[in-house]
């Protein structure tokens, strides 16, 4: 068969050719912009030509430091379609990490949102590889700044060649993008996405049993375009000619609800905290959300109660998914099989609150000390993933060898897999408690404790034990003006768990330490606990 | 990213692992068989092991000569998953062509349906490469036959190793299947399908804007499994765990209608003549066809009236598609874009009666003497196709160079492409009439003449002309007891066409010569006309 490479060029060209009238609706500092794919194609080509004039060549890295908007979307295609590499930079990283990744990737050009410019101004002297800075705003004149040389995005685009021919010299294994993922300890680790990986991932996102993304969709990625390709939505949406709603900087739940109503969003994607915020907003306001056919939720586990609230109270179908920066990111998606649709509501909710089944095109398995685990929904093991859109190394990073072994990605996530192949994340390998050779899920205990009406939040960590090696200890933050004893909590847990799962001790604390994205920072908590226990 | 090859092994393994309970419902000579994917996986592995014992090795061709049923489905996976090549043989070929293709492919083993055995018995002495024959029936004992050695499929499967490990030594570019396509003149031409091509085609079939095939589908391919992979349905259906209904030998419209009703078929695929038959049956019987979400139609153009009848009279959505043996086969599919759904019914029908827009993953263009044609729905050109599931040669065949040029497949089909990218086949290049440098579509004239209530069928061919090079001549078969003059026909056409399109002459004949699959045999008709005209 023909040896036609799978590249991103064909995605943007399809949008230009077949969906010239369909629109990208973008909210920026300056208000709402509407651009169709014909205009977007021209602007994208003009941007490629401008980058070429600035010296960008095949394989060069071009960094973006931006919210979700049409200019970022243009960069998503302009950079890879000229053979360069789109490096999306997480705007929430600490200064030290920003400097590290821009230098580590050797970014040659940086595209920066005007409101994020101060963050780059602070570190500009530490970025020797960057030859040009481009500021993205509605103006054709760059703002006052100490950055040199600072170009205006709009000026470059208006002077660029809108008939620029995209590269025909791209192999499908060539890098198209990269994104750094934060490590629990040490520097961020770079993941490189190939053209092939992104195209196959786009096909997967459009398959009927996954997200079924279609031309008729109005997509609103709330997940940032600076993180894991906004879950691939800008790529597949452009390819299929979907309408795209890009919510821009600093979006609040109110802004999201208004965008959904105004533009009849059909599919939106983000993390649980976003949806919790939206849920509160929907309960306050009187928004019309009838257009929404699915809310995709990943990044962390969604509480069952939230899924129920979306579906029962608001009639909005909620789809739980799982992936990582290393996996482009879609790996699993929780949908009912056809013969599960007649199950009682609670059973269906139970299935749909798991992370779900692996999507077509990938393989997964889970292993523990005894080899591959049984698919019984009980045995726990570390999740391993393999497939065409899974990274096989970290970019120039010795830590690759810890994670990519024997052709598999070792996720560090501990899971169970049930008889139907549905995966449930029960812990991180590092946070799992190994008591007398058996595993105890800290996440399961935490969720159970947090279901108590007096508890604000709870985290469970292991403490050393002379006989059992490790035993669980629960750190609990009570709600304001609430009182509970250790015994109250143990009694609350007793009916739900085997005796040996119950925490050996409960520690009441003021706050659980968290990462920059709001996840529990167990390492810090363990240190804090050990200090207090003097172990 | 990981270098994971796209192979058929992952398709059948996914069905075994995640959809063990879902079923293949198969109608054979012996009645209805129901097998789930767990059993199918075991039988498929047992078949691979049996073929290995018979001497089949990587790259060997194994021919199948069979209807649509579960054994054929098992062969669809057993042969490629051991690294061998599934050669599906068209049971309707002339004896001479059967001998040619079996020898040309060098088939090592043949799997033959019991009711088709007599066809092979006649030619068995002319098949020197075939080392073993396997008869497919419900019996474990082969029938009396002059064929040697003749094995029973069921005996081989029951003795085979149902835990056989599929090959791990398959590259995605390796051949998985092959199928010969009949040429207008000369011997059939072999098309080889790679693992990669079939996997990508399967993904494409599941995308929301194409056939959106899903686990929840009940698929009934009426298009034969011996022709263009039954349009890929057995592959994608197995991968996704769809229920499959395989209608077996000699199916009548009544049998199809009954299968649809009994097994709640959701998607079925076939050629227009099949659907014409089904339509008549549905009008006679009182069948429940509510489950059908789409009838896929390809192979030849479906008359607008038929589309209307399915949708308006029976509430069955009808999807027009286009492809060739050389294209795995899906190339285009006629679906409305989101902004076309509000158009008046006639406009929608007009769009949906075209062959449609190219599916994601392929490129098309059309060219004539002046280069690439305009997308105005008027200019005509030969359709060229490019992409990952398009053949790049005929197997060991010098005629490849006529068809595969500059990285494109030259289809020989003349098309228009409209502003929306929708393709309409107007003729075969060979049948197009070139009058004074302009092109006249014989198909358009034929369809217009056939719309006359007194006409049974009509074909238009070119005759030589001293000034205009070629001019159209219409051959018309009237319905019984109907009378029309040449002038009646010209007057009927006049309001519909430019003057220079009107046929120079009308010839009333008894019958239009046809190919074995019922297409007009224009070459024979031209000869017949030339003889009568003495040119």
Q: 3-state secondary structure string, B303-342? A: CHHHHHHHHHHHCCCEEEEEECHHHCCEEEECCCCHHHCC
pLDDT for B136 beyond 90? yes
Q: Which of B17, B361, B421 is the closest to A421 by Cβ?
A: B17
Query: Contact at 8 Å (CB) between A213 and A203?
Result: no
Rg (CA), chain A: 24
**A323-357 b/e (C-beta count within 10 Å ≥ 16 → b):** bbbbbbbbbbbbbbbbeeeeeeeeeebebbbbbbb
* Active-site annotation of A, residues: 181, 326, 434, 439
Q: How far is B379 from chain A (nearest CA, A)?
A: 17
Query: Contact at 8 Å (CB) between B183 and B96?
Result: no
Q: How far apart are CA A519 and CA A300, in angstroms?
A: 8
Q: Are B19 and A213 inside 8 Å of each other by CB?
A: no
Neighbours of A71 (CB within 10 A): 27
CB of B372 within 8 Å of a chain A CB? The answer is: no
Average the pLDDT over each of A171-185, A510-524, B309-323, B480-494 and give the range with the smallest value. Answer: A510-524
- Mean pLDDT within B467-493: 93
CA nearest B14: which of B199, B226, B145?
B199
Q: How far apart are CA B465 and CA B101, in angstroms?
A: 40
The size of chain B, in residues, is: 535
- Mean pLDDT within B110-131: 97
* Largest CA-CA distance found in chain B, in angstroms, rounded: 73
Q: How far is A425 from chain B (nearest CA, A)?
A: 18
CB of A410 within 8 Å of a chain B CB? The answer is: no
Query: Contact at 8 Å (CB) between A212 and B212?
Result: yes
Average the pLDDT over each of A117-126, A153-162, B188-197, B479-488 and give the range with the smallest value. Answer: B479-488
pLDDT for B47 beyond 70? yes
- Mean pLDDT within A206-225: 97
CB of A178 within 8 Å of a chain B CB? The answer is: no
CA nearest A303: which of A325, A323, A320?
A320
Helix/strand/coil for B422: coil
Place of tokens 């090079």: B469
Residue B436 Cα distances to A87, B380, B459, B460, B515, angstroms: 57, 15, 21, 17, 30
Q: Which of B214, B392, B407 is the closest to A1 by Cβ?
A: B392
Q: Are A386 and B192 inside 8 Å of each other by CB?
A: no
The size of chain A, in residues, is: 535
Looking at residue A386, what DSSP letter applies? E
- Alpha carbon A206 to chain centroid, angstroms: 18
Shortest CA distance from A241: residue in chain B: B337
Give A340's pLDDT tier (boundaries 50, 70, 90): very high
CB of B241 within 8 Å of a chain A CB? The answer is: yes
* Phi, psi angles (nearest 5°) of residue A164: -50, 135
Which residue out of B304, B434, B486, B514 is catalytically annotated?
A: B434
Q: Which residues are paired to B295 by β-bridges?
A: B268, B318
- DSSP string across A64-119: EE--SSHHHHHHHHHHHHTT-EEEE--TTS-HHHHHHHHHHHTEEEEEEEGGGHHH
Q: Are A212 and B212 inside 8 Å of each other by CB?
A: yes
- DSSP string across A448-510: HHHTSTTEEEEEEEEEEETTTEEEEEEEEEEPTT----HHHHHHHHGGGS-GGGS-SEEEE-S
pLDDT for A517 beyond 80? no
Q: Which of A196, A203, A387 is the closest to B207 by Cβ?
A: A203
- DSSP string across A187-215: S-EEEEEEHHHHHHHHHHHHBTTTT---T
pLDDT for A215 beyond 80? yes
State the Cα torsion B200-B203-B208-B212 to the nearest 10°.
Answer: 120
**Considering chain A, what percentage of its residues have pLDDT values greater than 70?**
99
Query: Contact at 8 Å (CB) between A205 and A242?
Result: no
CB of B240 within 8 Å of a chain A CB? The answer is: yes
pLDDT for A325 beyond 70? yes
Could you read off the pLDDT of A31-46 as tens digits, one per residue?
Answer: 999 999 999 999 999 9
Give B184's pLDDT tier (boundaries 50, 70, 90): low
Q: Are A215 and B209 inside 8 Å of each other by CB?
A: yes
**Considering chain A, what percentage of its residues have pLDDT values greater than 90?**
79
Could you read off the pLDDT of A440-457 as tens digits, one per residue?
Answer: 888 889 888 988 989 988
pLDDT for A535 beyond 80? no
* Phi, psi angles (nearest 5°) of residue B200: -65, -40
Q: Which of A3, A4, A209 is the closest to B215 by Cβ?
A: A209
Query: Where are chain B's structural domains?
Result: 16-251, 433-533
pLDDT for B172 beyond 90? yes
Beta-carbon contacts of B238 under 8 Å, excluding residues fewer than 6 positions away, are B11, B12, B15, B37, B40, B73, B76, B77, B244
* Phi, psi angles (nearest 5°) of residue B168: -105, 10
Could you read off the pLDDT of A241-279 as tens digits, one per residue?
Answer: 999 999 999 889 999 999 999 999 999 999 988 998 999
Q: How far apart are CA B370 and CA A208, in angstroms?
A: 41
Helix/strand/coil for A366: strand
User: Which chain B residues have a beta carbon less than 8 Å from that of A360?
Assistant: 14, 203, 206, 239-240
pLDDT for B443 beyond 90? no
Looking at residue B374, what DSSP letter applies? P
Q: Which of B1, B21, B196 is the closest to A197 by Cβ?
A: B1
Beta-carbon contacts of B288 under 8 Å, excluding residues fewer than 6 positions away, are B261
Place of tokens 């939230």: A306
CB of A88 within 8 Å of a chain B CB? The answer is: no
Q: How far apart are CA B510 and CA B494, in angstroms?
A: 25
What does DSSP say about strands A371-372 and A362-368: parallel, antiparallel, or unpaired?
Answer: antiparallel
Q: What is the helix (H) or strand (E) element at residue B50, kind and residue range? A: helix B37-53
Q: Which of A10, A361, A407 is the closest to B363 by Cβ?
A: A10
Give B517's pLDDT tier (boundaries 50, 70, 90): low
Q: Are A388 and B361 inside 8 Å of each other by CB?
A: no
Beta-carbon contacts of A427 under 8 Å, excluding residues fewer than 6 positions away, are A380, A413, A414, A441, A442, A443, A444
The sign of the torsion formed by the CA atoms of A502, A507, A510, A512 equals negative
Average pLDDT score over chain A: 94
* Phi, psi angles (nearest 5°) of residue A221: -75, 115
Most confident among A183-187, A283-287, A354-358, B457-461 (mean pLDDT) = A354-358
Could you read off the pLDDT of B222-232 as tens digits, one per residue?
Answer: 999 999 999 99
CB of A192 within 8 Å of a chain B CB? The answer is: yes
Question: With a CB-CB cutoff of 8 Å, which residues 461-520 of chain A face chain B?
Answer: none
Shortest CA distance from B417: residue in chain A: A18
- Name the token pair of B443: 């198909």
Query: Contact at 8 Å (CB) between A429 and A441?
Result: no
The reported pLDDT for the residue numbered A345 is 92
Q: Are A1 and B192 inside 8 Å of each other by CB?
A: yes
Residue A17 Cα distances to A504, B360, B363, B365, B418, angstroms: 65, 12, 11, 11, 11
Domain B16-251 class in CATH: alpha beta
User: Which chain B residues have a beta carbon less than 8 Å from that of A19?
Assistant: 337
**Considering chain B, what percentage of its residues have pLDDT values greater than 90?**
79
User: Which chain A residues have a beta carbon less than 8 Å from that of B213?
Assistant: 208
Beta strands in A298-338 (DSSP E): 318-323, 330-333
Place of tokens 């959904």: A260
CB of A198 within 8 Å of a chain B CB? The answer is: no
- The domain made up of B433-533 has a fold known as GMP Synthetase; Chain A, domain 3 (3.30.300)
Q: How far apart are CA B351 and CA B421, in angstroms?
A: 11
**Considering chain B, what percentage of its residues have pLDDT values greater than 70?**
99
Give B535's pLDDT tier (boundaries 50, 70, 90): low
Of residues A212 and A523, the one with the higher pLDDT is A212
Most confident among A478-482, B279-283, B288-292 (mean pLDDT) = B288-292
pLDDT for A330 beyond 90? yes
Does residue B427 have a cis peptide bond before it, meaning omega lies within 30 degrees of 0?
no
User: Which chain B residues have a beta carbon less than 8 Å from that of A214?
Assistant: 208-209
CA nearest B301: which of B478, B91, B499, B450?
B450
* Phi, psi angles (nearest 5°) of residue A525: -65, -40
CB of A390 within 8 Å of a chain B CB? The answer is: yes
The reported pLDDT for the residue numbered B526 is 87
Query: Contact at 8 Å (CB) between A496 and A448?
Result: yes
Which residue out of B121, B181, B258, B468 is catalytically annotated?
A: B181
Q: Are A386 and B203 inside 8 Å of each other by CB?
A: no
Q: Are B388 and A339 inside 8 Å of each other by CB?
A: no
Residue A256 Cα distances to A235, A245, A296, angstroms: 21, 10, 14
The reported pLDDT for the residue numbered A92 is 87
Q: Are A204 and B203 inside 8 Å of each other by CB?
A: yes
HEC profile for A225-279? CCCHHHHHHHHHHHHHCCEEEECCCCCCHHHHHHHHHHHCCCEEEECHHHHHHHH
Size of interface A-B (CB pairs under 8 A): 133
Q: How far is B392 from chain A (nearest CA, A)?
A: 5
Average the pLDDT over each of A147-156, A505-514, B154-163, B241-250 and give the range with the smallest value. Answer: A505-514
Q: Which of A206, A339, A392 is the closest to B207 by Cβ?
A: A206
CB of B340 within 8 Å of a chain A CB? The answer is: no
Helix/strand/coil for B446: helix
Q: How far apart are CA B71 and CA B33, in angstroms?
A: 10
Question: With a CB-CB cutoff of 8 Å, which residues 22-41 of chain A face chain B?
Answer: 22
Q: Which of A2, A173, A360 is the closest to B387 by Cβ?
A: A2
User: Which chain A residues have a beta carbon less than 8 Å from that of B194?
Assistant: 1
Q: Are A209 and B206 inside 8 Å of each other by CB?
A: yes
Shortest CA distance from B238: residue in chain A: A360
Q: What is the helix (H) or strand (E) element at residue B65, kind and residue range? A: strand B61-65
């Amino acid at each position: 068969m023909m040896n036609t490479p799978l590249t991103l060029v064909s995605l943007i060209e399809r949008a230009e050719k077949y969906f010239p009238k369909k629109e990208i609706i973008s909210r920026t500092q300056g208000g709402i912009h509407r651009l169709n794919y014909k205009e977007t194609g021209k602007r994208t080509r003009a941007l490629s030509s401008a980058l070429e004039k600035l010296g960008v060549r095949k394989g060069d890295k071009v960094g973006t430091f931006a919210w979700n908007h049409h200019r970022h979307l243009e960069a998503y295609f302009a950079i890879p379609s000229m053979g360069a590499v789109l490096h999306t930079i997480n705007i929430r990283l600490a200064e030290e990490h920003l400097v590290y990744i821009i230098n580590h990737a050797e970014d040659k050009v940086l595209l920066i949102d005007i409101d994020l410019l101060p963050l780059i101004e602070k570190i500009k002297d530490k970025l020797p590889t960057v030859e040009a800075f481009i500021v993205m705003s509605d103006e054709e004149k760059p703002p006052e700044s100490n950055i040199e040389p600072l170009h205006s995005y709009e000026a470059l685009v208006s002077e660029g060649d809108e008939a620029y021919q995209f590269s025909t010299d791209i192999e499908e294994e060539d890098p198209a993008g990269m994104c750094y993922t934060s490590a629990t300890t040490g520097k961020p680790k770079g993941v490189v996405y190939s053209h092939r990986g992104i195209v196959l991932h786009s096909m997967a996102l459009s398959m009927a049993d996954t997200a079924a993304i279609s031309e008729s969709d109005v997509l609103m990625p709330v997940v940032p375009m600076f993180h894991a390709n906004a879950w691939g939505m800008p790529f597949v949406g452009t390819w299929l000619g979907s309408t795209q709603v890009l919510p821009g900087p600093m979006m609040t739940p109110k802004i999201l609800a208004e965008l959904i109503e105004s533009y009849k969003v059909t599919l939106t994607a983000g993390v649980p905290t976003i949806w919790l915020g939206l849920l509160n907003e929907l309960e306050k306001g009187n928004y019309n959300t009838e257009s929404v056919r699915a809310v995709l939720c990943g990044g962390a586990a969604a509480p069952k109660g939230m899924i129920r609230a979306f579906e029962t109270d608001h009639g909005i179908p909620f789809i739980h998914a799982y992936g990582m920066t290393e996996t482009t990111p879609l790996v699993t998606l929780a949908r009912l099989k056809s013969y599960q649709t007649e199950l009682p509501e609670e059973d269906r909710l139970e299935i749909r609150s798991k992370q779900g089944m692996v999507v077509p095109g990938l393989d997964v398995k889970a292993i523990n000390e005894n080899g591959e685990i049984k698919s019984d929904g009980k045995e726990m093991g570390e999740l391993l993933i393999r497939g065409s859109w899974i990274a096989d190394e970290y970019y120039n990073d010795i830590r690759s060898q810890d994670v990519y072994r024997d052709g598999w990605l070792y996720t560090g996530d501990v899971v169970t897999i049930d008889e139907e192949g549905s995966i449930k994340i029960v812990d991180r390998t590092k946070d799992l408690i190994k008591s007398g050779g058996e595993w105890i899920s800290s996440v399961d205990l935490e969720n159970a404790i947090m279901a108590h009406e007096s508890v604000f939040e709870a985290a469970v960590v292991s403490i050393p034990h002379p006989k059992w090696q490790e035993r669980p200890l629960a750190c609990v933050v009570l709600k304001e003006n609430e009182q509970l004893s250790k015994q109250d909590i143990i009694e609350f847990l007793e009916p739900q768990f085997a005796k040996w799962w119950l925490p050996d001790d409960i520690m009441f604390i003021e706050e659980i330490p968290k990462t920059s994205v709001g996840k529990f920072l167990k390492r810090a908590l363990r240190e804090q606990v050990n200090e207090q226990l003097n172990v």
